[in-house]
Structure 1
């Protein structure tokens, strides 16, 4: 197989959809299908099967897809090694970024970094912090920006802390909260657990959730427009002075805070591009961006 075949098999295996895979690979569907048939002829096996929705890999096809994924990792390693030999800050930096950090911090960070190192290419993957932790464990990224503490025995750097707070369009008392309309949003398990533990420690009844949205930014806009309150990190609403913001506290009368970390493995620092990026982050006040 060639590099293009590895990429095709890996993408198909991840998407389980010929249309999506063709789009990601910048191929037409007939071209992708034709290449798959050639691979099946070459190996003398059936690689994929059509389902009602999408495709499924045969057992033989799964083995081939796993091989393709491993070969892509090896290809990245040799490319990174060759870039590093040049003793220059060049090559590709792969970064995993939690959703809020991706939209509110990462664009400015990358802009400043690229000003210093214009020859670096950055590949950024975004998602929940738990997903970014998994990417790091699987060596799919060099660095991950993660909210919360996850199991990790190698290097990590605390970037900033945020107070968790109630953001409301109107003045309120703590006793009123169970009756007031609340806007909720999807978040990672760490944040959900902190908020749920705080709520159940202070209230016996469930919150009055009237709207549920996908993103915290959408949630904030609902609050700004007077549709209810929300429990968010204070950085989310720092540019909205019109809102009433009150931090929440735990049973020990301490502010409940959420930490954002930069995680990376020790051996990644052997790469010039990773070491340059880590050094760069250490000179920046990330919270102030």
Structure 2
């Protein structure tokens, strides 16, 4: 089987639809169907059953689809190891990045690294920090940038910590919070839990959530327009001066922090590009990256 055949199996298993799978691979539907027929001929089994609702994998097809992930990962590792033998910092660095980090830090970070190592390319996967942790664990990415204290048993570096604060257009009395309109946005489980626990420790009634949005940036703009207050990490508000910010604290008076980590496997440092990137990150002030000249 060729590399592209394993890609066909993976795409088809993800999409469960020939048309969508072909589109994701940027090939025609007849071309994908032809490759599928060749795979079935090579193994002498039927891989999928076609129906009105798409395709269903046979037991043999399910097995081959699971093998596809392993085969593609092995092929990628072989290519990386061969390239690594030249002792050059080159190749495709696979990064898993939390949504927040991808928006606020990643573009500047990759530009700086690319300036220093022009032969490096990037494949970036974004998502919730819990999903990124799984990607690093399964070695689908070389390095993960994760927000929150997720369990990780291999190498990790604390990149920075930020406070969580109440942001409002006008100065407000903390005692009035339960009666004031709040703007919530979709965020990861750990941050949401931290905020909920803080609220439960300080107030006996639920917050008055008047607006719910998907993104932190949308929430920030609504706060700037005086539509309510929000509770969010301070870095999101770093570029705003005309908004009042109050850090939330524990009962002991300690600020509640949200930490950003870099996760990776020790063995991945054998790759020159990974080692170079880790070393580069350790020498960058990520918290103030957007203010660097």
RMSD: 1.5
* In structure 1, C-alpha distance between the alignment counterparts of 2:6 and 2:281, rounded to whole Å: 34
CA deviation after TM superposition for structure 1 residue 45, in Å: 2.9
* In structure 2, C-alpha distance between the alignment counterparts of 1:270 and 1:84, rounded to whole Å: 8
CA deviation after TM superposition for structure 1 residue 228, in Å: 1.5
1:76 aligns with 2:76: yes
Name the residue aligned to 2:168.
Answer: 168
Give the TM-score normalised by the residue count of structure 1.
0.95
* In structure 2, C-alpha distance between the alignment counterparts of 1:48 and 1:218, rounded to whole Å: 43
Name the residue aligned to 1:146.
Answer: 146
CA deviation after TM superposition for structure 1 residue 203, in Å: 1.1
Q: Deviations over 1:151-179 (max 9, x none)?
A: 22221111111100011122211111111
1:103 aligns with 2:103: yes
Name the residue aligned to 1:89.
Answer: 89
* In structure 2, C-alpha distance between the alignment counterparts of 1:87 and 1:100, rounded to whole Å: 34
1:240 aligns with 2:240: yes
Match of 2:210, SS state, is strand
Name the residue aligned to 1:224.
Answer: 224
Name the residue aligned to 1:61.
Answer: 61
CA deviation after TM superposition for structure 1 residue 278, in Å: 0.6
Name the residue aligned to 1:284.
Answer: 284
Would you identify which runs of 4 or more consecutive aligned residues in structure 1 move more than 4 Å? 50-54
CA deviation after TM superposition for structure 1 residue 51, in Å: 5.8
* In structure 1, C-alpha distance between the alignment counterparts of 2:251 and 2:282, rounded to whole Å: 34
Name the residue aligned to 1:178.
Answer: 178
Going from structure 1 to structure 2, the CA distance change for 1:54 and 1:129 (only over 3 Å counts) comes to: farther
1:273 aligns with 2:273: yes
Name the residue aligned to 1:206.
Answer: 206
CA deviation after TM superposition for structure 1 residue 53, in Å: 4.7
CA deviation after TM superposition for structure 1 residue 29, in Å: 2.4
CA deviation after TM superposition for structure 1 residue 63, in Å: 0.3
CA deviation after TM superposition for structure 1 residue 148, in Å: 1.2
The alignment of Structure 1 onto Structure 2 pairs a total of residues equal to 289
Match of 1:287, SS state, is coil
Q: Which runs of 5+ in 1 are unaligned?
A: none
1:259 aligns with 2:240: no
Match of 1:4, SS state, is helix
Going from structure 1 to structure 2, the CA distance change for 1:217 and 1:34 (only over 3 Å counts) comes to: same
Q: Deviations over 1:256-275 (max 9, x none)?
A: 01000111111111110000
Q: Which runs of 5+ in 2 are unaligned?
A: none
Give the TM-score normalised by the residue count of structure 2.
0.94
Going from structure 1 to structure 2, the CA distance change for 1:113 and 1:204 (only over 3 Å counts) comes to: same
Going from structure 1 to structure 2, the CA distance change for 1:46 and 1:225 (only over 3 Å counts) comes to: farther
CA deviation after TM superposition for structure 1 residue 91, in Å: 1.0
CA deviation after TM superposition for structure 1 residue 186, in Å: 1.4
CA deviation after TM superposition for structure 1 residue 74, in Å: 0.7
* In structure 2, C-alpha distance between the alignment counterparts of 1:45 and 1:225, rounded to whole Å: 62
